[in-house]
Amino acid sequence: MAPRLYLVLTIFSYVLAVFSSPAHNETKRECDNTWKIANAVATKLQTSYFNPVLGYYEGNRLWTDANTIEDIYNLMYFTNVTTWKNLIYQTRIGQLGVTHLNLWDLVFGGSYDDAGWALLMFIRIRDYIGPGDPNFQNFETSTYQVYDYIAQQWSNDCGGGVWWSKAHTYKNTITNALYMHVSAAMYLRHKDKPGYLQNAMQTWNWLAGSGLRDRDNLWFDGLTACQVSDKTKWTYNQGVIASGLGVLYAATGNKTYLTEAEKTIDAAGTNLTAHGILKESCDDAVQSTCNEDQLIFKGIFTKHLQYYMDQAGDAARKKYSWFLTGQSAAVFLLATGLDNFPGSVWYSENKGGSIFTPRSMASGLEAHIAAAKYGYCY
């Protein structure tokens, strides 16, 4: 039997088994089959699209590269796979983290959201290598430096929030959601520095009153002159809001943050999907209009839903388990073309509109990793 057909049948029989048994058992936490799929996609990505001499993925894009490197470490972090344990040292951004020369403005060029993505990656690397590693302190120093680089962008214009870019004309959801997340994450690792926690709480308070959240609990993209100027509801904004609130809950024990996060996750689950599968507004099975950045958004949503579930406890893990399983199954069954290459359209079979680049590939990989960790297993 072709492996894919076998998988369809096993998913199907599993679904039947679950719905026919009145009290099915707890979610198994690590799904071997899904890990294998994730591993195959990661292998293809690394062998075909990562250039170890130049230190970047085909296309050379800092923020999506940071996400992709983080994905590879996420894959290794929860399994005993060590295939890519030296990847960080082969990347440009990783080498900058080791040398920690504090030239971050040259690196990020005043794109403070890019700095936020890189900081998330540095935090993951730091956790992965652990304090016994000779480079631990170097990455740790980089986390402090990059954090401060972003924190300096807080201003009282529009009542608070960090700027998106050096032009100081746009305050947006992603830069502030990332700032909330990394502030709370830094606090969890440095509890002697309460300023991080204050920044995280202050950022949430600002976001909640900023006008960026619509009545349906989905978040717009950003503000120009303190008015919502981009009303697109991108999936990744919703995901990082949720994960940031999850980490803030972990730092405070205040369950209001979980309630707020789930309003947004639930709204994304009903409103940014087709038949339960994530669909970006630019996705179209026949003719997508997504740009290269947008190709990775849905995967970031799944990655940050996983990060939310890391913090939020068993009830949330159960609640979103099927959702993650569905995304991974759709990526595998509908989105993936030849040679383990996931395309950008997940909600439908490709009718010519799916776009295949290392960004769509990283996005699909993220869906598999999140489902391997918290999905149902088949």
Ligand X SMILES: *[C@@H]1O[C@H](CO)[C@@H](O)[C@H](O)[C@H]1NC(C)=O
CB of 314 to ligand X, least distance (A): 11
DSSP 72: H
Binding residue for ligand X (CB under 6 A) from 51, 224, 270, 289? 270
CB of 189 to ligand X, least distance (A): 22
Choose between 76 and 296: whose C-beta lies nearer to ligand X: 76
Long-range interactions of 237-240: CB distance < 8 A, separation 24+: 237/173, 237/174, 237/177, 238/264, 238/265, 238/267, 238/268, 238/272, 238/301, 239/268, 239/300, 239/301, 239/302, 239/303, 239/304, 239/305, 240/173, 240/174, 240/177, 240/178, 240/181, 240/300, 240/304
Binding residue for ligand X (CB under 6 A) from 1, 26, 53, 82? 26
Q: How many residues bind ligand X (CB under 6 A)?
A: 8
Binding residue for ligand X (CB under 6 A) from 105, 133, 148, 216? 216
Choose between 26 and 339: whose C-beta lies nearer to ligand X: 26
Choose between 266 and 292: whose C-beta lies nearer to ligand X: 266
DSSP 222: E
Task: Decide: 18 and 26 in contact? Cβ < 8 Å.
Answer: no
Q: Which residues fall within 8 angstroms of residue 297, CB to CB, at 6 or more apart?
A: 234, 235, 236, 280, 363
Q: Work out whether 287 is an interface residue with ligand X (CB under 6 A).
A: no
Q: Residue 355 and residue 283: Cα distance in Å, rounded?
A: 9
Choose between 218 and 334: whose C-beta lies nearer to ligand X: 218
Binding residue for ligand X (CB under 6 A) from 271, 276, 319, 333? 271
Choose between 95 and 256: whose C-beta lies nearer to ligand X: 256
Q: Residue 365 and residue 47: Cα distance in Å, rounded?
A: 14
Binding residue for ligand X (CB under 6 A) from 20, 47, 80, 82? 80
Residues 224-263, interacting with ligand X (CB under 6 A): 254, 256
Q: Which residues pair with 222 in a beta bridge?
A: 172, 230
Residues 112-151, interacting with ligand X (CB under 6 A): none
CB of 71 to ligand X, least distance (A): 19
Residues 309-348, interacting with ligand X (CB under 6 A): none
Joined tokens for residue 296: 């990775």
Q: Residue 258 and residue 320: Cα distance in Å, rounded?
A: 13
Tokens 């309003």 — which residue?
A: 263
Choose between 229 and 271: whose C-beta lies nearer to ligand X: 271
Q: Which residues bind ligand X (CB under 6 A)?
A: 25-26, 80, 216, 254, 256, 270-271
